[in-house]
Amino acid sequence: MSDLTTTQGVVPFLWFDDRCKEAMNFYTSVFPNSKIKMIRRWGEGSPFPADKIMTGSIEINGLTMHMFDAGPNFKFNESVSFFVNCKNQEEVDHYWNSLTADGGEESMCGWLKDKFGVSWQIVPTMISERLNNSDPVRLGQMMQALWKMRKLDIAELERAYNQ
């Protein structure tokens, strides 16, 4: 279990501060069809303990992500986020509740930070459908409702859209 190769053309690479293994376990527990693909330890002669994870690779619902555990040099911020398409309110609730648990933070308009500081957008697919095929007035009504929400509520968004 030590290969970083993937056929995915672009691969997210996340830097963690001593929590890489915890993050790998967390993300693969939250997302379906997920697994830890690879773990590589620092080894003797490195600036870190030999048994500490250096890199890891996970697959979450088809997306390969590489992870690096190399200290507190860099922090995550909201300028990069992962967009999670949700087919229904049950999925929105699952991802929202799971990713904000144990120290995660709610933000506005479907955005949140998980306990590691990684930003996520938990978004029902109906929003993209409305954005692509909508009357501007109805879309504006829906967006006004969305801007007041933290976790997105599909029923409320539909009500606003259909006013």
Largest CA distance in the chain: 66
pLDDT tens for 7-50 read: 788 999 999 999 999 999 999 999 999 999 999 999 999 988 99
CA gap 55, 69 in Å, rounded: 6
* Contact call for residues 153 and 160 (beta carbons, < 8 A): no
* Contact call for residues 60 and 99 (beta carbons, < 8 A): no
CA 25 from chain center: how many Å? 14
Q: Can you read off the two tokens belonging to residue 30?
A: 């939250």
Residue 48, number of CB atoms within 10 A of its CB: 15
Q: Which domains are delineated in the chain? A: 13-69 (3.30.720.100), 81-161 (3.10.180.10)
pTM of the model: 0.91
pLDDT tens for 121-142 read: 999 999 999 988 778 999 999 9
79-83, 108-112, 129-133: range with lowest mean pLDDT: 129-133
CA gap 8, 64 in Å, rounded: 7
Where does the chain have alpha helices with state H? 20-30, 89-100, 125-132, 136-146, 154-161
Question: Rounded mean pLDDT of the chain?
Answer: 93
Give the percent of the chain with pLDDT over 70.
96
Pairing of strands 63-69, 13-16: parallel
CA gap 128, 121 in Å, rounded: 13
Residue 101, number of CB atoms within 10 A of its CB: 12
* pLDDT at residue 83 is higher than 60: yes
